[in-house]
Structure 1
Amino acid sequence: MASLIDADDICHDFAFGLWRLWKNRNDVVFKGIYRQPLDILEAWKKSTGEYKASLAPDQEDHSLRMPKSIKVSDRMCTKWKRPRFRTIKINTDAAWCKDTLRMGVGWLGRDFAGLLQAAGGSGTGFSHSAAAAEASAIRFALLSCIDHGFDDIIIESDASTIILMLKKEILVDFSIECILDDIEVLAQKLRSVSFAFVPREGNRAAHSVAKYVFKEGRSFSWDCIGPEFLFNFLVAKDVNLSIRL
């Protein structure tokens, strides 16, 4: 009779096998890429091997091994910058609890004048890592953009490693490959999508949304009026405008 460890291994192998088949299906449908069965099997074995290696008991740190974040130079502007005309800039962020694995993902979209077009988030999800939560925030934002009819957008996030993966500048981490693939498929449904890193100081509005939905533990969607707690971030902090009441 198989032990519990053997049963876990079988479940992991089965799950990775299903995912590999789904990924190959997406490549065929959306990219026209056809792979040989042996190549798919090799990719499947590689994914399961990397996953099991990451759980090895002799590793002291089980967190994702990710490159160092992009450093903000003295000349890099830390304020939010307006997009070009007819483009919506989408800022995303995530709040994640290591103990409970709960996450909150938030986003907001602003136009060339810096005016809020829409915002939203969800505090009902779970994630195995902070990186997965950040990637999930981008995926959630793209789904919302499709719903709102935004088809020319810039996605900004302060998760530098995720942005580098989406821009194909570093290798994709296998543990969040499924989320990144979803993002790529969703992006193809829009006319124009680009991904950019923004320092945390320029992403505070999105961070406030992520914290809010995480605390409330439910989903929200706001129109151009927006919630009251966003006012200071949208007007006074991110864009650094002075206002007179």
Structure 2
Amino acid sequence: MKLVAKREGLLMMGFKGFTHFILVTDSQEAMMMLKSEMDWRSNVGNFVEDVRLLIIERTVTDVVFQPRSGNGIAHTLAQFGLMEGTHFFWEDVAPPWL
């Protein structure tokens, strides 16, 4: 699920024209998958490859791990999106409940 969220986020960054940024994740496993040169021969591998290509296209400068405790707002927003079952993008104004 983390890789799906990264893919969606990178697609949105492209739509908005953003490049040269750091991709942060609270999953050490996702970070390792994206940084390694290993091929993942599974359904997960398709997402890994998609995200790796988007990282190159968006000129992502690094993929770093940040514990969930260090970015609670991102986790709260992700959980909200999962509960609602749809995609959200707040550009300038946060949701009123945040």
Structure 1 length as normaliser, TM-score?
Answer: 0.37
Does the CA contact (< 8 Å) of 1:153 and 1:193 recur in 2?
A: yes
- Measured after TM superposition, the shift of residue 173 of structure 1 is 4.0
Equivalent in the alignment of 2:31? 163
- Distance in 1, Cα, partners of 2:50 & 2:91: 25
Of 193, 197, 204, 2:61 maps to: 193
* SS of residue in 2 equivalent to 1:181: helix
* SS of residue in 2 equivalent to 1:222: coil
- Measured after TM superposition, the shift of residue 217 of structure 1 is 2.0
Aligned residues: 97
- Measured after TM superposition, the shift of residue 181 of structure 1 is 0.6
Equivalent in the alignment of 2:41? 174
Equivalent in the alignment of 2:14? 146
Does the CA contact (< 8 Å) of 2:3 and 2:48 recur in 1?
A: yes
The residue type equivalent to 2:91 in the other structure is: D
- Measured after TM superposition, the shift of residue 193 of structure 1 is 3.2
Equivalent in the alignment of 2:52? 184
- Distance in 1, Cα, partners of 2:2 & 2:60: 21
* Higher CA-based Rg: 1
Please give the per-residue CA displacement for 1:84-133, whole angstroms capped at 9, x wherever unaligned: xxxxxxxxxxxxxxxxxxxxxxxxxxxxxxxxxxxxxxxxxxxxxxxxx1
How large is the Cα RMSD of the aligned pairs?
1.7
Does the CA contact (< 8 Å) of 1:213 and 1:219 recur in 2?
A: yes
Please give the per-residue CA displacement for 1:41-91, whole angstroms capped at 9, x wherever unaligned: xxxxxxxxxxxxxxxxxxxxxxxxxxxxxxxxxxxxxxxxxxxxxxxxxxx
Runs of 4+ aligned residues of structure 1 deviating over 3 Å after TM superposition are none
Equivalent in the alignment of 1:202? 70
Name the one with the larger strand percent.
Answer: 1
* SS of residue in 2 equivalent to 1:151: coil
The residue type equivalent to 1:227 in the other structure is: P
Equivalent in the alignment of 1:78? none
- Distance in 1, Cα, partners of 2:85 & 2:15: 22
- Distance in 2, Cα, partners of 1:163 & 1:172: 14
- Distance in 2, Cα, partners of 1:191 & 1:134: 20
- Distance in 1, Cα, partners of 2:87 & 2:75: 15
Runs (5+) with no aligned partner, structure 2: none
- Distance in 2, Cα, partners of 1:219 & 1:191: 24
Equivalent in the alignment of 2:79? 211
- Aligned-residue identity in percent: 30
- Distance in 1, Cα, partners of 2:97 & 2:33: 32
Does the CA contact (< 8 Å) of 1:157 and 1:203 recur in 2?
A: no
Structure 2 length as normaliser, TM-score?
Answer: 0.86
- Measured after TM superposition, the shift of residue 220 of structure 1 is 1.5
